Structure 1
Amino acid sequence: MIETLAGPKAEVEDLSASALLASIRSARSDEDAAAARQLDLAARWADLHPPESIHTAAVFTDDGRYGLEHEEPIAGPGCPAVAEFCIAELGTVLGISSTSAKRLIGHALELRHRLPRLWAQVHAGQVPAWRARTVAEATIHATPSLTVEAARWVDTQVAAVAGRVGPAQLDRLVAETIKRHHLDTHDPTKDPEDGWQHVDPRHATLLSEDVHYAGTMRFEAELDIADALDLDRALTHGAETLKALGSAAPLDARRSQALGDLARTQTALDLHTQGSTPARSDDGLPIAREVVLHAHFDTSLNGLETVFGSTGRMEERHRLALLEQVKGWCGDSRTKVTVKPVIDLTAELTAPGYDIPDRIREQVIMRDRTCVFPWCTRPARACDIDHVVPFDHDADAEGRTQPGPTVSSNLAPECRWHHRLKTHTGWRYEVTGVGVYEWTSPHGHRYRRDRTGTTRFSGAAAGADPPDRP
C-alpha cells in the first residue's frame, strides 16, 4: 500500500482519469464564470464614472505609428461614455496596462448595450467571455461604424452559433456578417458592384506582438490586384537576384529578404527630392530611408545567451535582438551605424533651469526603459520626461530653494496619457531609489515600479473612501 501526503495535491493524485477530467472541466467553468463576472464589474465601474466625474471621456488615441493622430471611442454608438482617468485605477488593481483596462471596459459596454444576446449567453455560461470579447472588438472598430441597429443585427446572426464554432470560424463569421450588413444597406440606386468597394479591405499591418525567437516579425497586407501582382513580380525578381549573387537561402526566405530590400531602397514617395539629384551610396544605389533602432548588448559575462546565440535588447517594442542579426544589418553598405559611449545610469546629472539637456534625457531613458506608471510598457523614448517633484518657475525670482530641480533623481519618463493622469488627478508618486518609484492611487492602492516591472505594494483599507483630490 502506498501512502500519499494529505492536502489538495494528494486529493488530485487520488483522482481517477474520469474524475480528473471532470475536475478540469469544473475548473474551466469556474474560470469562465469569473471572466463573465469581471466583465459585469467592469461595466459597473464605468457606470460609476461618467465623463463629468473625472474630466473628459475615455478614447483610444492612435500612437502615431503610421503617422496618424486620431481618437476612437472605447465602445460603439449607443454606449455610455466613460471618464478617461477612471481607467487607470481599474487597470492597476487588475495588474494590466491602462490600454488593456480601457479595452476591457469597452468590450463590457459594447456587449451590454449593443450585443445583448451575446451578453446574456456569457452570463448564462453558454459562450466564454473571451469569445464574446472578440466579437465586441470587431463591432467596436468596424469601418464604417455600426449603428445600434446594425450591431443588434450582427448580434442576432452571431449569437446563434458563437458557442459552437471555433475561434477562427467565429472571426470569419463576424467579419462576413459585418461586410454583408454594409452591402445590404448600401444605396440601391448605385451600381451593385460599387458595394464591394463600400468596405475597403486594403491594409498593410505589422503584427508586432507576433515575434519569433529567431528575430522575425509577421507583416500582413491586402492589396489592390495590380499592386499585389507588381509586388509579387518585384519579390520574384529580388529573390532571383539574391540567388544569382550567391544566396543559398530557400526561396521564401529570399522573397522575404527582397521585401526588406524594397523597403530600404524605395524612393518613389520622397517628393522632397523632386528636381534634385537623389543621394547615392558608394555602390550607386539610393541611400536607404532612415529607420533608427536602438540595440543594447551587455559586453560582460552576464550577457543573455539563448539557443540562437548572443542576445541583446532592442528598445523598439521591447524585443530581443540577436547579435548575429545586428551584425548582418551593420554589414549592409547602406546602413549607418552609430556607437554611443556607455552611460552611467546611477550618476546624478544636473542642469540649471527647467529644460532637460539631451545627456540627462538619454540617461533617464536608458535607466527606466519605459513609462514608469504601473504596468505601462510605452517605450521611454516616446515619453515625456516628467519632473517628479514639479519645477517651481517662480522659486529663483522669489529667492526660494528650487523644490523640483532638473536632476537625474527627480526625472522620470511618462507617456503623455499617464503624465496627464499624474498632473490632473489624485495619483501621486515618489522616488525611493535609483529608477524605483512608488505610486499611490486615488483609492489608496500602492504600487512599486522599477526596471523589473510592477509590484503591488499594498491595498486600500476595506471600504475606505478615496482621498480628496487637490
Structure 2
Amino acid sequence: MIDALAGPGAGEADALTASDLLALARDRKTAEDRAAADLLEIAARWADLHPPETIHTAAAFEVRGSEHEEPIAGDGCPLVAEFCVAELGTVLGISTTAAKKLIGHALELRHRFPRLWVQVHTGRVPAWRARLVAETTIHSTPSLTREAAAHVDAQVAAVAGRIGAAQLDRLVAETIKRFDLAAPDPAADPVDGYLSVDPRHVTLHDDDVHFAGTMRWEAELGIADSLDLDHVLKHKAAEQKALGSTESLDVRRAKALGDLARTQTAVDLAFARGGGGFEARSARTSTTEGTDLPAARQVVLHVHVDASMAGDQTVFGPTGRMEQRSKLLLLEQVKSWCGDSRTKVTVKPVVDLNADLSAPGYDIPDRIRDQVILRDQTCVFPWCTRPARRCDLDHVIPFDHRAETEGRPQPGPTTTRNLAALCRHHHRLKTHTVWRYAMTANGVLEWTSPTATATAATTPAPPRSNRSTGLTRA
C-alpha cells in the first residue's frame, strides 16, 4: 500500500477500496503518534546528556514584559544546559524556543506526570494532548509543587488524557486551592483564597496578524480600570460619530484605544518630588532626572514599498511589507496612516542590498547596519524568526583589535559580507560555545553544530530584490 500511494496514478493505487484507505489512515495515525511519543523520549534523553554546569547556565524562558525567567519544566525536573537546545532544534527544523518547549514538556511528563508518561508510550494518550497538560502546568501561577502535580497526573490519567483546555484550567485552579498554594487574602476573597492570585494582564498576540492589518489584544483588568476604560472608549467612539464617522461601533472603539496610546506618549508621568502623587509634564520640557521612569517615546513602524520611475514621477506598487512580522500591506493602508495629522512620515533612501559596503574600524555605521538588517530580515540562526532590527550585528570572522597596531591585515573587517544579524541568545551561543558559522555568499550562512553533524545547517538568503526603500511611521 505504501508503494501504491507513493506513485500517483498507478494502477495498484486505483485498486484501493474504501476499507483499504481507512485501514491505511489508521496505520499512519498510529505511526504518527508513535513517532511523537518517541520524540518526547529522545528530547528527555538529550536533556540527560546535557546538565548545566551551574544554575546560571540552565535553560529558561524569558518572560516578555517581566524581569524574571521561567524554568522550562516544573519543580523536581532536572535542569538542562542552555546551549544544548539549539542543536536539537536545528536537527528537527524548529526554532530554539520550540525545542526548549519540547524538552520542557518531555521532562515535565517524565518526572512529574509518570502515569500520563506511561499512557503516552503505550499509545493510550496522544503526545500532543499530554504536551497540552505539560504546557499548562509548567506555567501555572502559582507553580505546582510535586504533590500538586501528582494530583493533576492522577486526575488526568484516570480519564486517559481526554481533557480539554477549559477543564484543565479548572483542574489546575482546584489543585491550587486544594493544596493551599496561594496564601489566602481575606480582603480579596474571604471564601476562595486561591482567587487572590492576581489574574491581571495585557497581552498582544503579535504572532496572529490579520490580513486586514490588525493584531489581537487580550486583557484582564481590575473592575475600576475596566469601567473607566470602557467609559473613555464609549465617549471617544461617540465623538467620532458626531464628527461624521460612519464606521461601526467596534471599529470606532478600536480606533479610540489607538488614539489613547498615541496621546499618552506625549505625556511623561513622574513622581512629584516631595510628595506621594503624580505630576504630568510635557515630554518636550520634562526629563526623567531623579525618577525611575523612562521618557515617553514614539512608536516607529518600518514599511517597505516597491517603487519605479516613470519619467520624473515615482510610481509605487499596490502592496508593501511591514517589517514587524513581515506583514503584507496594501498601499491604501499606508496612505491612511500617512493621512493621520499626528503621523510623521520619513522616506529613507534606496538601499542596494547587493553592494559591498565597508568601514575602517570596529563600529558599524548606520548605512551598513540598515543594509544588513534589510538583507537578513531575521536572526540568521537556522529557524530563528527574531526580527533583525532587534538583533545584534555580529562580525562573522571576529574583528581583531590588535591587528592594526601590530601591522597585520584585519581578518574580520567591518564589511557587508562579514556581518550578520544574531539575536542575543544565538549571539551568546556563537560566542560561548563551539557552534561556528561562515558566510558562503552574501546573506547565505552555513552553520556547524558542536557534534559536527554530516548535514550542517544552512540559512539560505530569502527571496529579495536587490533594492529596497523604506517608509518610517513615527
Scaled to the shorter chain, the TM-score interval is 0.7 to 0.9
Q: 2:134 aligns with which of 136, 139, 151?
A: 136
Match in the other structure for 2:376:
368
Q: Using the TM superposition, give the Cα deviation of residue 241 of structure 1 relative to its aligned residue in structure 2, in angstroms.
A: 2.0
Higher relative contact order (CA 8 A, sep 6+): 2
CA distance in 1 between partners of 2:40 and 2:327 (Å): 31
CA distance in 2 between partners of 1:351 and 1:385 (Å): 14
CA distance in 2 between partners of 1:337 and 1:189 (Å): 51
- Compute the TM-score of the two structures, normalised by the length of structure 2: 0.84
Q: 1:447 aligns with which of 432, 453, 457?
A: 457
Contact 1:392–1:404 at 8 Å: present in 2 too? Answer: yes
Secondary structure, aligned partner of 1:88: helix
Contact 1:131–1:162 at 8 Å: present in 2 too? Answer: no
CA distance in 2 between partners of 1:372 and 1:85 (Å): 16
Question: Which residue type is aligned with residue 270 of structure 1?
Answer: D
Match in the other structure for 2:167:
173
Q: Using the TM superposition, give the Cα deviation of residue 181 of structure 1 relative to its aligned residue in structure 2, in angstroms.
A: 2.1
Match in the other structure for 1:427:
435
Deviations 1:170-219 (A, max 9, x none): 11122112222222315579573461542222111111122221211111
Secondary structure, aligned partner of 1:164: coil
Contact 1:182–1:199 at 8 Å: present in 2 too? Answer: no
Match in the other structure for 2:395:
387
Q: Using the TM superposition, give the Cα deviation of residue 163 of structure 1 relative to its aligned residue in structure 2, in angstroms.
A: 3.6
- 1:401-416 aligned at under 5 Å gives the runs 401-416=409-424
Q: Using the TM superposition, give the Cα deviation of residue 434 of structure 1 relative to its aligned residue in structure 2, in angstroms.
A: 1.1
Q: Structure 1 residues 322-331 or 78-87, which shifts more? A: 322-331
Deviations 1:350-386 (A, max 9, x none): 1122111122111111111111111111111111111
**Larger strand share, 1 or 2:** 2
Match in the other structure for 2:291:
none
Match in the other structure for 2:204:
206
Secondary structure, aligned partner of 1:356: coil
Question: Which residue type is aligned with residue 384 of structure 2?
Answer: C
Match in the other structure for 2:149:
151
Change (3 A) 1:329 1:193: farther
Match in the other structure for 2:60:
59
CA distance in 1 between partners of 2:162 and 2:444 (Å): 48
Question: Which residue type is aligned with residue 359 of structure 1?
Answer: R
- 1:10-159 aligned at under 5 Å gives the runs 10=10, 11-52=12-53, 56-62=57-63, 66=65, 68-159=66-157
CA distance in 2 between partners of 1:189 and 1:362 (Å): 52
Q: Using the TM superposition, give the Cα deviation of residue 268 of structure 1 relative to its aligned residue in structure 2, in angstroms.
A: 9.4
Change (3 A) 1:59 1:334: same
Q: Using the TM superposition, give the Cα deviation of residue 25 of structure 1 relative to its aligned residue in structure 2, in angstroms.
A: 2.4
Change (3 A) 1:382 1:402: same
Contact 1:368–1:450 at 8 Å: present in 2 too? Answer: no
Q: Structure 1 residues 408-417 or 22-31, which shifts more? A: 22-31
Contact 1:74–1:106 at 8 Å: present in 2 too? Answer: yes
Contact 1:98–1:376 at 8 Å: present in 2 too? Answer: yes
Question: Which residue type is aligned with residue 173 of structure 1?
Answer: Q
Question: Which residue type is aligned with residue 369 of structure 1?
Answer: Q
Change (3 A) 1:119 1:328: same
Matched length: 428
Secondary structure, aligned partner of 2:82: coil
Match in the other structure for 2:349:
341
Question: Which residue type is aligned with residue 418 of structure 1?
Answer: H
CA distance in 2 between partners of 1:267 and 1:290 (Å): 7
Q: Using the TM superposition, give the Cα deviation of residue 407 of structure 1 relative to its aligned residue in structure 2, in angstroms.
A: 1.2
Secondary structure, aligned partner of 1:15: coil
Secondary structure, aligned partner of 1:93: helix
Change (3 A) 1:54 1:202: closer
Percent of residue pairs bearing the same amino acid type:
65
Match in the other structure for 2:177:
183
CA distance in 1 between partners of 2:41 and 2:457 (Å): 25
Q: Using the TM superposition, give the Cα deviation of residue 247 of structure 1 relative to its aligned residue in structure 2, in angstroms.
A: 2.1
CA distance in 1 between partners of 2:134 and 2:243 (Å): 50
CA distance in 2 between partners of 1:163 and 1:145 (Å): 21
Question: Which residue type is aligned with residue 177 of structure 1?
Answer: L
Change (3 A) 1:344 1:8: closer
Change (3 A) 1:163 1:265: same
Q: Using the TM superposition, give the Cα deviation of residue 53 of structure 1 relative to its aligned residue in structure 2, in angstroms.
A: 9.9
Secondary structure, aligned partner of 2:212: coil
Secondary structure, aligned partner of 1:81: coil
Question: Which residue type is aligned with residue 382 of structure 1?
Answer: R
CA distance in 2 between partners of 1:395 and 1:6 (Å): 62
2:244 maps to 1:250 = no
Contact 2:267–2:283 at 8 Å: present in 1 too? Answer: no
- Compute the TM-score of the two structures, normalised by the length of structure 1: 0.84
Match in the other structure for 2:232:
234
Contact 2:268–2:281 at 8 Å: present in 1 too? Answer: no
Question: Which residue type is aligned with residue 237 of structure 1?
Answer: H
Q: Structure 1 residues 105-114 or 70-79, which shifts more? A: 70-79
Q: Structure 1 residues 117-126 or 246-255, which shifts more? A: 246-255
Q: Structure 1 residues 206-215 or 18-27, which shifts more? A: 18-27
CA distance in 2 between partners of 1:269 and 1:141 (Å): 35
Q: Using the TM superposition, give the Cα deviation of residue 162 of structure 1 relative to its aligned residue in structure 2, in angstroms.
A: 5.5
Deviations 1:93-147 (A, max 9, x none): 0011111111110111011111122212211212211111111111111111111
Q: Structure 1 residues 345-354 or 264-273, which shifts more? A: 264-273
CA distance in 2 between partners of 1:357 and 1:188 (Å): 56
Q: Using the TM superposition, give the Cα deviation of residue 12 of structure 1 relative to its aligned residue in structure 2, in angstroms.
A: 4.3
**Gaps in structure 2 of 5+ consecutive residues:** 271-277, 286-295, 310-316, 464-474
Q: Using the TM superposition, give the Cα deviation of residue 228 of structure 1 relative to its aligned residue in structure 2, in angstroms.
A: 1.7
**Gaps in structure 1 of 5+ consecutive residues:** 281-287, 302-308, 454-470
CA distance in 2 between partners of 1:183 and 1:268 (Å): 44
